[in-house]
Chain A
Amino acid sequence: NAGVTQTPKFQVLKTGQSMTLQCAQDMNHNSMYWYRQDPGMGLRLIYYSASEGTTDKGEVPNGYNVSRLNKREFSLRLESAAPSQTSVYFCASSEAQGQGLHFGNGTRLTVT
């Protein structure tokens, strides 16, 4: 039972490049989330998907897009990376909204 799996683990981009972060969960959870974590700022919600077929903006959505591909998979796309998007990105899932989250291992992204 893998839980929440994120790929890649590390990524370096140049300003203006694009990339997609992948996330999959095998716990049959309905809700999935993307957070970013920056030093001193805690975890901030980028986008979430309450259930398959729906997505909504979180606290810091600018510069990102998401796709809930199916119940298992939720991807995060950076269309034109900026240095301000240098961060650690966590995907998480929960059985329903507002419940405890299960996190993936994170993606460490550096934009130069």
Chain B
Amino acid sequence: QKEVEQNSGPLSVPEGAIASLNCTYSDRGSQSFFWYRQYSGKSPELIMFIYSNGDKEDGRFTAQLNKASQYVSLLIRDSQPSDSATYLCAVSFISSGSARQLTFGSGTQLTVLP
């Protein structure tokens, strides 16, 4: 069973602060890592993906990957109330033969306080 673990939160940060969201995964063979944002009652939206160790930045978002520690994180700088949502971590692994599927964590609920 491939597992992806996230702290369910809720995580509260003040407006303008850095929000740090963390995710660990069980399969050392995983190669692709994704962060999705899901507003209440809406569908998940892809916001970041990372394939290589290190940091990847896109605007206020930074994804960090450490394959040796099987750890991926998402940093949100200058957090805004509009960032309040559930953030889902997803990891790609081989399910059968050569088929690659995504396994999702249960999500971390983030609240940015004005």
A residues touching B (Cβ–Cβ < 8 Å)? 35, 40-45, 48, 50, 56, 58, 90, 97-106
Bound-state CA distance A38–B72 (Å) is 24
A50 nearest in chain B by CB position: B99
B residues touching A (Cβ–Cβ < 8 Å)? 4, 8, 31-32, 34, 42-46, 49, 88, 90, 92, 95-96, 99-107
Tell me how far the C-beta of A83 lies from the nearest C-beta in chain B, rounded to whole angstroms.
22
Q: Report whether A42 and B105 are in contact in the complex, using a CB–CB cutoff of 8 Å.
A: yes
| Interface core residue of B49, B88, B96, B99 (most chain A CB under 10 Å) | B99
What are 17 A-B contacts with C-beta separation under 8 Å?
A: A41-B106, A43-B88, A44-B104, A45-B102, A56-B95, A98-B100, A98-B101, A98-B102, A99-B32, A100-B34, A100-B46, A100-B49, A101-B34, A103-B43, A103-B44, A103-B45, A105-B42
| Interface core residue of A41, A42, A44, A90 (most chain B CB under 10 Å) | A42
Among candidates A43, A50, A97, A98, residue contacting B104 with C-beta atoms closer than 8 Å: A43
Given contacts A43-B88, A45-B101, A106-B43, 18 further A-B contacts (CB under 8 A): A35-B104, A42-B104, A43-B104, A45-B103, A48-B101, A50-B99, A56-B95, A58-B101, A90-B44, A97-B100, A97-B101, A98-B32, A98-B102, A99-B92, A100-B34, A100-B49, A101-B44, A101-B46
Chain B residue contacts of A48, Cβ below 8 A:
101
Chain B residue contacts of A100, Cβ below 8 A:
34, 46, 49
